[in-house]
Structure 1
Amino acid sequence: MATLDTARMAEGLREQTAGFARAAAAGEPDARVPTCPEWSLRTLVGHIGLGHRYATGVLRKGDPQPAPDPWQAAPGSPDRWAEWLRDGAEELIGAVQEAGADTEVWTFLGPRPAAFWLRRMLNDTAVHHYDAAVTTGGGFGIADDLAADVIVEGLEMLVSPGAEALKPQLVELRGNGERLGLQPRQGDGWVIIRSPEGMWWEHGPVEADVVLSGAVAYVMLVCNRRLPLDDDRVTVTGDRALLEHWLAHMAI
């Protein structure tokens, strides 16, 4: 369940899309994205713009749509990227409003409220905002509430019914009660518990075998494998190998 209401997610999508567009505009279209090395900056822009439009298509047509190919995107010249990206985000926000945020729709994890797609595209845009900023040297920023929801959505997806069928490597994350903690600098954090039946997680005080701590934005970036564990903006205490194993297998 989203930690943000629909209005905040819409506002956040506008924030992160605008930030992504500014960061992308500062670079060369054919520049390689170091955190997505198979993609150029133009392809990254295509991925985001088509992702927003794909979600809009699902909401308006009511069934699965062909997966978009970012290499086939036509975002125009870099001076038009911001407009193209903004238009896609606004189309998605409008489609959620038209459908009704609580209306059940198709998703790759089974039926979910229409707001699922707003949240999914907001969080995908936020992570790729960082990718664009790293590529071009542009600025990256994200509000704490948005960064926290990126973390929560990721945890929810990992424990969703059918997640192991979607990504079989998640079976490797079963365990025998090991506990991994994610601790932002302020407030409670999250604890992931590995059991023989699968994973589960809880929000609250962090007591764990290994703890990743730092500003919530940096914890978010590590969880999305954008920052390494030895980055000086985060701290790891406890069983580092346990955390390394989780990060190596948890991508959906």
Structure 2
Amino acid sequence: MDTTRLAEGLHDHTAALAGAVTGADPEAHVPTCPDWPLRVLVGHIGQAHRWAASIVGSGPSPVPDPFDADPGSPEKWSDWLLQGAAELEDAVLAAGETPVWTFFGPQPAQFWLRRMAHDTTVHHADAAFATGAAFEVGPDLAADAISEWLDILADPATATLNPAFAQLRGTGQTLRLAPEDGPGWLITRTPDGVRWTHATSPADTTLAGPVRDLLLVLTRRLPADRVRVTGDHTLAEHWLAHTAA
């Protein structure tokens, strides 16, 4: 996905998240982020955008604590969120193809635009579910979010960041994510970690449904019964239990 579309997705979902929380109680519980009130969810997004922008512009810095973020008063949340997204886009465009630090080694600055666009999309869903607002995502953006998450899970460094991900290793078990349009994703659990490709091949277990719902199930924002699960249900349950995002 190109930089223009990722930036569009970042801004669209930042604005939609801001709209979803407008007028809401800052201390309202976020069901899909059970340890966070709404103010922490908002703070995390604006904080993460600024943190990623600083990495692109100045190099790595410690991962910030969402509870330390200060989004300001609720009536200023929208402007604060949109400013952070703009700072990130500006930093990425200024960096161009210059490699920057990431958890997975040096990569083009677009890595952080993609990471934050998809993180914001999922957290937009969190905000919408918490406040009763509508949530929609473009099929192309949802599909790229799935591919990006699988890229992260397949990187050897990921298991060092979260030990639960090491449990995704296997002996050739396969899972297929089958959207209503497109070939979907075939995931193979190998002794060396997760591997994936776009394919329509049969798998030990298949999750099928709209790409929006597949993304939200994969990121544990919706229960598995929101999509059709066929084949080895235990394999699907194990995967979802060890891939919370």
SS in structure 1 of the partner of residue 85 of structure 2: helix
Q: Does 1:31 align with 2:28?
A: yes
Return closer, same or farther for 1:167/1:72 CA change in 2, 3 Å cut-off. Answer: closer
Give the residue type in structure 1 aligned to 2:234: A
The residue that corresponds to 2:87 in the other structure is 91
Inter-CA distance 46–228: structure 2 relative to 1 (3 Å threshold): same
Task: Give the structure 1 partner of residue 3 of structure 2.
Answer: 6
What is aligned with 1:114? 109
**1:220 aligned residue (199, 215, 224):** 215
- How far the C-alpha of 1:26 sits from its partner, in A, is 4.2
Say if 2:75 is the partner of 1:79: yes
Write the letter of the residue equivalent to 1:86: L
Are residues 1:179 and 2:174 paired?
yes
Tell me if the contact between 2:103 and 2:157 (Cα under 8 Å) persists in the aligned partners.
no
SS of the equivalent of 2:6 reads helix
5+ residue gaps, structure 2, are none
Identity %: 53
SS at match of 2:35: strand
Match of 2:237 among 229, 234, 244: 244
Q: Show the counterpart of 2:183.
A: 188
Q: TM-score, normalising length from structure 1?
A: 0.94
Residues 1:43 and 2:36 aligned together: no
**Residue 158 (1) aligns with residue 153 (2):** yes
Equivalent residues, number: 245
Kept in 2: contact 1:26–1:136 (CA 8 A):
no
In the aligned structure 1, how far is the partner of 2:101 from the partner of 2:244? 22
Shift, 1:80, TM fit? 1.2
The residue matched to 1:8 in structure 2 has which SS? helix
Give the deviation of 1:207 after TM superposition: 1.3
Task: Determine the C-alpha separation between the residues in 1 that align with 2:201 and 2:85.
Answer: 36
Residue 149 (str. 1) matches residue 144 (str. 2): yes
Structure 1: distance between partners of 2:3 and 2:53: 15
SS in 1 for 2:64: coil
Q: Is the 8 A contact 1:183 1:206 kept in 2?
A: no
Deviations 1:87-132 (A, max 9, x none): 00000000001111x2210011211110000001101100000000
Give ranges in structure 1 of 5+ residues lacking alignment.
none
* SS of 1:183 mapped into structure 2: strand
Deviation at 1:180, TM superposition (A): 0.3
Q: Which moved more, 1:17-26 or 1:42-51?
A: 17-26
Query: Which of the residues 111, 123, 134 maps onto 1:128?
Result: 123
Contact 1:181 / 1:192 at 8 angstroms: preserved in 2? yes
For 1:224 and 1:26, how far apart are their aligned partners in 2?
27
Residues 11 and 82, structure 2, Cα contact 8 Å, conserved in 1: yes
Secondary structure in 2 aligned to 1:36? coil
